[in-house]
Each structure stands twice: as C-alpha cells, then as structure tokens.
Amino acid sequence: MARESNITQTMINAAADALLAGGTRPSARSVRAAIGFGSMSTILRMLQVWQDGQTKHMGALRELPPTLHRSLIDFIQEEIGTAKVEWQSEQEVAQQTIHDFMGENERLARQAEDQAEAISRAQVERGELLGRLSQMESHLSRVTEDLGVERHAAETSRTELAKSLLRLENVPRIEAELTQLRSELENERRIKVAAEQVAAVALARLEAMQDRATKAEASAAKIENESRTIAEESNSCRIQVQAQQTALDAAAREVRDLRQQLVDLRAETKNAIEAAAELRGQLNSRLGKSTPSV
C-alpha cells in the first residue's frame, strides 16, 4: 500500500504514451505491466485522465486547414476500421480488467473481513487485558494495605521490643537485689540456727532446772534456800526463752517474707525474659515477611 501512493499521473502518462508509440493500445493491465506495480483501480483512474487528454488533442485537430483537415478525416476514417478491431480487443481487455477488479475486490473484501476479525479478536483481548489489569490493580491495592498493616505491626513490635529492652536493662539491678536478698536470707538463716541453738541450750537448762526443782521439792525442807534460787533462775530462763522464742518467731516471719519476695522476683524476672524472647521472635518473623514485599 505504501508503494501505490508513489504512483503519479506523470508515470501513467509516460507509460501510456510509450505503449501507444510502440503500436499497443494502452490499457490498465498493459500500463501496470509497464510500470511494474500499483493497484488496478488507481491505474485505471489515471489512465482515464490520460484518455481525456487525448480526446481534447483530437478536438484541437479540427481547427486545422480544410485540406489538411480532410486528409486527416480520411486517415481517421481509415483508422476507425482498425480501431473497431482494436476496440473489440480493448473490450476484451476491459472485461478482463473488470474480472481483475472483481478478483481484487474479493481479495480486498477478504482482507477487510480478516481485519474485522482481527479487530474483534483484538477488542476481546483488550477486554481481557483490561480485566486482568483491574484484577492486578485490586491485588496491588490489597498488597499495599497488607503492607501498611505489616509496617504498623512492625512499628508496634519495635515499640514492644524497646520496652522489653528497657525491662531487660533492669534485670542486672534485680539480680543484684536478688543477690543481696540471698545474702540477707543466708544471714537470717544463720541467725535462726544460732537462735535455735540458744533455745535448745536454754530448753536443756530449763529441763535441768525443772529436774533440779523436782528434786528440790522432794527435799524442800532441807534446801528451801536453794529452791528459791533455782526458782528465780528458772523464771529468768523462762523469760529469756520466751524472749528468744519471740525473736525466733519474728525472724521466721521475716525469712518467710524474704522467701516470698525472692520467689516473686524470680517469677517476674522469668516472665520478663520470656516476654523479651517472644517479642524478639515475633519481630524477626514479621521483619522476615515484610522485607520481600517492600
């Protein structure tokens, strides 16, 4: 098609003049064979322009002198018989040209149908592509929303991790306090052992004094003065034992309180460490998922 647009009237005129000069009646088929390309309809249209020019040239011949004009008329009449034969041949050529036009029209019609089918398929494919594009845009929107949620979750995890790190920073202080409490508990344990030893000694002395008091009661008359002394010592020992027992009970209560505090501190430390480990795992998991999507 691009080459047909290069056909000019000058080319058609030159080819027709050359054919006429060579003794051949110009036709669309012969002109096309002469120039080597072009559609039959374009060549025929330009050939008619050339033929119109030839008719005007014949009209100009009538203005010649009468003698020359008569000679030309005779010559033309002689040529008419020959022209009739050529006309019949030209009619055959015209019929062939019409047949060629019909074949070309059919070919163009088939091309138009093929192009219409191709356009229809292209429109269907375009609709499918638009549908896929819409789906991809919807998927991209969902992915963008999920990414925003993941980013928010990551920020939340970072915040929780920072809090956990702050808690972990307090762990050494808690461990130091725990060590101190253990030391104090050990001191209290030693005090309790010492108090129990003192109480045992006092109780042994009390039992010995009670035994002596029993013996003294048997011989009260004889050792009344000794009995008073023993009674006084016994009362003093009882007071001392009671005071030591009170101190022992207070120490036991304080030891129980310290043990409970120690248990609470251990539980709080364990919970803080487990929470920090869980937050680290969640953050690593979420960061591992969100990094490829971004």
pLDDT tens-place string over residues 83-113: 556 656 766 766 677 777 677 777 877 888 8
Average pLDDT over every residue of 120-145: 85
Does pLDDT of 1 surpass 50?
no
Does pLDDT of 61 surpass 60?
no
**Per-residue pLDDT, 130:** 87
Q: Does 225 fall in a domain?
A: yes
Q: Does 94 fall in a domain?
A: yes
CATH of the domain at 182: 1.10.287
Q: Does 121 fall in a domain?
A: no
Q: Does 150 fall in a domain?
A: no
**Per-residue pLDDT, 12:** 92
Nearest residue to 242 via CA among 287, 202, 191: 202
Categorize the per-residue pLDDT at 238 as very low, low, confident or very high, splitting at 50, 70 and 90. Answer: confident
> Residues 279, 180: one domain?
yes
> Residues 186, 288: one domain?
yes
- The Cα–Cα gap between 256 and 252 comes to 6
Q: Does 268 fall in a domain?
A: yes
In 3-state terms, what secondary structure has residue 36? Answer: coil
Residue 168's contacts (CB-CB under 8 Å, 6 or more residues apart) are 272, 273, 276
Q: Does 22 fall in a domain?
A: yes
Does pLDDT of 290 surpass 70?
no
Nearest residue to 86 via CA among 35, 27, 44, 29: 27
> Residues 171, 261: one domain?
yes
> Residues 76, 168: one domain?
no
Average pLDDT over every residue of 44-68: 72
Examine the fold and report which residue of 89, 112, 135 is the final residue of a domain before the chain moves on. Answer: 112
Q: Provide the mean pLDDT of the chain.
A: 78
Q: Which of 19-23, 63-67, 177-181, 219-223 has the highest mean pLDDT?
A: 19-23
Does pLDDT of 79 surpass 70?
no
Q: Does 128 fall in a domain?
A: no
Average pLDDT over every residue of 16-25: 87
Does pLDDT of 2 surpass 50?
no
- The Cα–Cα gap between 260 and 185 comes to 11
Examine the fold and report which residue of 83, 112, 141 is the final residue of a domain before the chain moves on. Answer: 112
**Angle, CA of 95, 97 and 36, to the nearest 5°:** 155
Examine the fold and report which residue of 87, 112, 137 is the final residue of a domain before the chain moves on. Answer: 112
- The Cα–Cα gap between 294 and 281 comes to 20
User: What range defines the domain where residue 37 resides?
Assistant: 4-112
Counted domains in the chain? 2
Percent of the residues in the chain that have a pLDDT greater than 70, as a whole number: 79
> Residues 174, 89: one domain?
no
> Residues 65, 182: one domain?
no
**Per-residue pLDDT, 73:** 65
CB 8 within 8 A of CB 43: no
> Residues 277, 198: one domain?
yes
Output the pTM of the full model.
Answer: 0.28
**Per-residue pLDDT, 13:** 92
Burial class (CB in 10 A: 0-12, 13-18, 19+), 128: exposed
Tokens, residue 229: 């002394």
Q: Does 123 fall in a domain?
A: no
